Structure 1
Amino acid sequence: MSQQLYSYLLAHTREPQVLQELRLETAGLQGGHMQIAPEQGTLLSLLVQLLGVSSAIEVGVFTGYSSLAVALALPPDGRLVAFDRDPVSMEVARRLVALNRDPVSMEVARRYWAKAGVSDKVDGRLGPALEGLQQLLQQEGPGSFDFAFIDADKRGYQAYFELCLQLVKPGGCIAVDNVLFYGKVADAAVNDKATLALRQFNKDLMADERVSFSIVPIGDGMALCRKQ
């Protein structure tokens, strides 16, 4: 997409003021490129509304743009369980948690959840997402959520997907970001670990009859999967 056409797309994307402010603040932080694009946030919001989602999971919060987009679209009694392994080392993260403090990106997320008035809908959990999802499955059981969004470490995608598939009810949706990975998945000369993991994930998804799915070329590519 040309820059001219993308500018047109952005001009015709409804982005709430609070999300725009969060996007601009995140752009100035280390790792700001990890934030989803405004049009992806709009798509997530629309999916939540179209599917009548009342309970959702997010794997990978960063500064909270996607979680905020989802939370704003949830009904008043809706809830989002959002897992994040902060960009700082887990050792630093553990020390901060022990001191009842959040690493920088989660602090930003919580601040904007509060600013948007959705803090009561979002349960932000810091730590390894795999362990968190396993605990959630034990606590609430299979099929207890309507929707899940995965946007975290690429080598963990398959494990996250398997757990989300158990947690989401039949007919529910799992959205997975970065499946086109800057075009690297289509370039045979690129073989870093993250790219290889995403290639395998996409290949497995193609053969997975537990879901119907479509890769939408929005942002860095988003796979939309409906649990059968």
Structure 2
Amino acid sequence: MDINKENYELGLPVLKKAGVAHKVDFKEGPALPVLDQMIEEGKYHGSFDFIFVDADKDNYLNYHKRLIDLVKIGGVIGYDNTLWNGSVVAPPDAPLRKYVRYYRDFVLELNKALAVDPRIEICQLPVGDGITLCRRIS
């Protein structure tokens, strides 16, 4: 899923070379309406092994609320940028760039929600800007 089909088309030769292009059902559009449609259709419930989210940080928690139903038990959801320039551990009055400060609260909200979600086990990796892996356990 991507808002821009060109991104999918860029990676398509790699998918074909790996022999997995037939497993990809690309969906173009804004993520929340597309996810809502997928959930409404019912056929995608628990059907994904792996989902990676690198999108608008202010909707990460909204994505999680939907994706948890789409990933199978034992499947993994990965969230990118969960350390958000290190701002998630910075004091509230730390000098931060405007956009970093704006999105910081959304990333913190996601991190806190994931930490107490009983349906998942999480592992936050300090790689790049942080990646959190969530394995669905129930």
| TM-score, normalization by structure 2 | 0.79
Q: SS state of the match for residue 124, structure 1?
A: coil
* Rounded Cα–Cα distance in structure 2 between residues aligned with 1:161 and 1:124: 19
Q: For residues 118-141 of structure 1, what are the alpha-carbon distances to aligned partners after superposition, in whole Å with 9 as ceiling and x for unaligned?
A: 432322221011111122222215
* Rounded Cα–Cα distance in structure 1 between residues aligned with 2:18 and 2:30: 26
The percent of aligned pairs where both chains have the same amino acid is: 39
Q: 1:121 to 1:141 in 2, by over 3 A?
A: closer
* Rounded Cα–Cα distance in structure 2 between residues aligned with 1:142 and 1:218: 30
1:182 matched residue in structure 2: 85
Partner letter of residue 165 of structure 1?
Answer: I
Whether 1:154 aligns to 2:57 is yes
Q: 1:171 to 1:108 in 2, by over 3 A?
A: closer
Aligned pair partner of 1:173 in 62, 76, 81: 76
Gaps of 5+ in 1: 1-82, 87-101
Give the greater-gyration-radius structure (CA). Answer: 1
Over the residues paired in the alignment, what is the CA RMSD in angstroms?
2.1
Aligned pair partner of 2:106 in 197, 205, 216: 197
Q: SS state of the match for residue 25, structure 2?
A: strand
Q: SS state of the match for residue 171, structure 1?
A: strand
Note if contact 2:87-2:101 (Cα within 8 Å) is conserved in structure 1.
no
Q: SS state of the match for residue 155, structure 1?
A: helix
Aligned length: 130
Q: 1:123 to 1:142 in 2, by over 3 A?
A: closer
The alpha-carbon deviation at position 85 of structure 1 amounts to 1.7
Higher relative contact order, structure no. (Cα contacts within 8 Å, ≥ 6 residues apart): 2
Q: For residues 11-56 of structure 1, what are the alpha-carbon distances to aligned partners after superposition, in whole Å with 9 as ceiling and x for unaligned?
A: xxxxxxxxxxxxxxxxxxxxxxxxxxxxxxxxxxxxxxxxxxxxxx
Aligned pair partner of 1:119 in 21, 24, 27: 21
Partner letter of residue 28 of structure 2?
Answer: L
1:84 matched residue in structure 2: 2
Partner letter of residue 119 of structure 1?
Answer: A
Gaps of 5+ in 2: none
Partner letter of residue 46 of structure 2?
Answer: G
